[in-house]
């Protein structure tokens, strides 16, 4: 229509033979819009349902160009796309320039008298924006939620901030720039970290104070729900694979699922289950000195060649304040205090927190006292919210995990839709 716009379509091959693609038009603030790709020989069809457009083109392999017709609202325009490698494919550690501001921050938890280090990402523009705090799953995790080459929290923060949501993610206690010790912090104690993070966001002019929520993963989802039952709660909670069984039931179920995946003999699985359950009962119902002695003895009986000092060290790691608390933690017990909107999201390929066990329990309890509950299960998505491996990116001949586009889309749509209301 007489205008000229620069646009980029990023195309990444998937291991299943298809493609993942996204559209960016900086001048119109279009960022990472999903693109459907159909390829037949040298014919390429790109469909952008978000703007009702499609681009039919032919690929010139010699010139590395796509030339064709862009159709939108009945108007057709000739468009030429020239190929250039994405920075992430050229040099490890590089990335496309984000369409948001990124800031390293430190905020103090006065209840625990420790500092927490994190990253705040803010969409471009004056705001105020809806905002979320990201809370990680079990164990010691950095602010990005790094597992190998995959960074769940960083990927989620990137997606949300590109779509108008401010995001604060932080290192767990004792990790990175955060003080304290995760092993000594119970699930309940971690609530004060989230409350401190929420108050930090409330102090920022760029953030809409009435639209600040918490997105928690695994145990982090339970921490988010506990926070929602406290004074000055978040405006909403997103539970990503939150646990609905007690801590003991959760850890036992995870152990059994892991052994079944390894095709261990069912008789051995049953024996391991009973031994593990007995050990957890000892940890929960005896004094720490007694539990240390008994658990150490059980470990040596299980592995006769285990050195006594190594058994003592392993027993000590099983008797941390976090472990003793988590075993008896019932995530259902305090849900009657949660009155804010909640999105429960799980994947059908999650063996660490199967939706039929965990999400079903959370949904049943929450819906009995709160009518503003949305529950969804995403086909093919695992506990880390990755899609099936056939949909992973293929870079330099290697499969690279990514955040499930469907999961990212559901979270974004629910948060932004709630914020508009």
Instruction: Please report the pLDDT score of residue 88 as a whole number.
Output: 47
Note whether 226 and 350 are same-domain residues.
Answer: yes
Phi, psi of 387 (to 5 degrees): -75, 180
Note whether 109 and 146 are same-domain residues.
Answer: yes
Note whether 115 and 231 are same-domain residues.
Answer: yes
The DSSP string of 56-106 is EEEEETTTTEEEEEEEETTEEEEEEEE----HHHHSTT--PPPSEEEEEEE
Per run of 10 residues, the mean pLDDT along the chain (length 421 residues) is 75 77 74 84 86 88 90 84 67 56 95 94 90 95 91 95 95 94 91 97 95 97 97 97 96 92 91 94 94 93 87 90 94 94 96 96 94 95 91 70 92 83 58
In a domain, 303, yes or no: yes
Q: How many domains does the chain have?
A: 3
Instruction: Please report the pLDDT score of residue 124 as a whole number.
Output: 87
Note whether 22 and 70 are same-domain residues.
Answer: yes
Instruction: Please report the pLDDT score of residue 74 as a whole number.
Output: 75
Note whether 343 and 199 are same-domain residues.
Answer: yes
**277, 293, 323: which is the final residue of a domain?**
323
Name the residue range of residue 18's domain: 8-89
**40, 67, 89: which is the final residue of a domain?**
89
| Cα–Cα distance measured from residue 402 to residue 385, given in angstroms and rounded to the nearest whole number | 8
| Cα–Cα distance measured from residue 17 to residue 352, given in angstroms and rounded to the nearest whole number | 29
Note whether 136 and 278 are same-domain residues.
Answer: no
Instruction: Please report the pLDDT score of residue 322 as a whole number.
Output: 93
pTM (2 d.p.): 0.78
Note whether 292 and 200 are same-domain residues.
Answer: no
**62, 89, 116: which is the final residue of a domain?**
89
Answer yes or no: are the C-beta atoms of 255 and 272 closer than 8 Å: yes
């Amino acid at each position: 229509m007489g205008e000229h716009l620069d646009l980029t379509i990023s195309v990444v091959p998937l291991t299943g033979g298809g493609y993942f693609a996204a559209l960016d038009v900086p001048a119109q603030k279009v960022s990472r819009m999903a693109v459907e790709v159909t390829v037949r020989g040298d014919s390429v069809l790109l469909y952008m349902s978000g703007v009702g457009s499609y681009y039919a083109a032919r690929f010139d392999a010699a010139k590395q160009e796509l030339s064709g017709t862009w159709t939108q609202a009945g108007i057709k325009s000739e468009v030429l796309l020239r190929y250039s490698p994405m920075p992430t494919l050229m040099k490890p550690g590089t990335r496309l320039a984000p369409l948001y501001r990124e800031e390293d921050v430190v905020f103090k938890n006065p209840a625990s008298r420790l500092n927490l280090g994190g990253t705040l990402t803010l969409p471009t523009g004056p705001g105020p924006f809806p905002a979320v705090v990201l809370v990680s799953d079990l164990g010691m995790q950095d602010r990005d939620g790094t597992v190998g080459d995959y960074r769940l929290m960083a990927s989620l923060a990137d997606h949300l901030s590109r779509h108008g949501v401010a995001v604060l993610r932080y290192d767990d206690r004792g990790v990175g720039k955060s003080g304290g010790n995760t092993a000594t912090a119970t699930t309940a104690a971690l609530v004060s970290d989230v409350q401190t993070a929420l108050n930090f966001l409330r102090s920022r002019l760029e953030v809409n104070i009435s639209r600040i929520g918490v997105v928690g993963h695994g145990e982090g989802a339970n921490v988010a729900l506990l926070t929602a039952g406290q004074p000055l709660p978040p405006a909403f909670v997103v539970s990503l694979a939150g646990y609905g069984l007690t801590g003991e039931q959760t850890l036992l179920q995870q152990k059994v699922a892991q052994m079944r995946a390894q095709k261990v003999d069912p008789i051995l699985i049953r024996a391991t289950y009973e031994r593990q359950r007995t050990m957890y009962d000892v940890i929960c119902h005896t004094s720490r000195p007694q539990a240390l002695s008994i658990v150490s003895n059980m470990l040596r009986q299980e592995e006769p060649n285990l050195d006594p000092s190594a058994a003592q060290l392993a027993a000590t790691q099983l008797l941390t304040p976090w472990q003793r608390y988590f075993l008896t933690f019932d995530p259902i017990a305090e849900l009657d205090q949660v009155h804010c909107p909640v999105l429960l999201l799980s994947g059908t390929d999650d063996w660490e927190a199967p939706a039929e066990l965990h999400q079903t329990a959370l949904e049943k309890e929450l819906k009995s006292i709160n009518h503003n509950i949305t529950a969804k299960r995403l086909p093919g998505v695992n506990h880390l919210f990755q899609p099936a491996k056939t949909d992973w990116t293929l870079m330099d001949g290697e499969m690279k995990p990514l955040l499930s586009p469907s999961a990212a889309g559901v979270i974004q749509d629910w948060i932004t839709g709630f914020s508009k209301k």
